[in-house]
Structure 1
Amino acid sequence: MKFEKFTCWNPLEFKKVVHTEAEASPDDIFLAIHTDNRINLSIYGNKPKEVSYKKFLDEFLDGDYGNNVQTVIEGESGSGKSHLVQWIRQHIPKNSNKYVLNIPKTQTNLHGVLKKLIDLLPSDKQIEYNAKLQKKDIGL
């Protein structure tokens, strides 16, 4: 179903719907306004090739590179890096072997990242590690 030439929100609320920061949009709105740009993909220093977001995700998940896959997403300010990260987060299949931890770029301090990781632990471990984290905070 295409929504070409169809306004699916009140134009007076444009700024509530379309955010300049990709991570500020709720998932449903993000997907409604998403356009699948092409990106340059370079693996292990090979010559870059232009691919779709889907192709990038497939390459990222295909398992040819081991279990500890990392990637660098670089580009000019406003080039769509955060948009790509949000799209990937929404499209990585959920299963017991993977967990996607979303860390917004505004929350990249060490304490915030550790707190997000601790929140994933069982309750008894959360108490233990939160106490350790708080003790470290006091000592700083």
Structure 2
Amino acid sequence: MDEKEEPGEQLQKEIEETTQRTKAALEKIVNVRLSAAQPKNVPTQSQESKYIKYKPLQQSSAFNSGAKERIIRMVEMLADPLEPPKFKHKRVPKASSSPPVPVMHSPPRPVTVKDQQDWKIPPCISNWKNPKGLHNSS
């Protein structure tokens, strides 16, 4: 610090520096809040448009308001930001780290007639009225 400066001037410089730092910090906080409120990806409308001359096949006053030729302006349609996604993301099953554990089964044996008879379940018999005559037969 210079000895030529008065203590009042030093105090004034310190106040200005503190004010500038505080102002910068507050602006930073405000800018963060404002940027959070703004949409991230706003599609910009492309100004490229094509003009096409169109001559209808039926040249009559009853068709196309009697126009012999029309000029059509073609513009690319903007994507709707609220439109649901067109493609569904499919999850890929993760690769297993080791081969699957083998399941131990007893050796298969042929089915006998007695086993077939044991597995046969008789149809339910009901005492309720059956006007249409429908029945369960196995």
Could you say which TM-score interval applies, normalised by the shorter chain?
Answer: under 0.3
Q: Which has the higher helix share?
A: 1
Could you state the TM-score of these two structures normalised by the residue count of structure 2?
A: 0.15
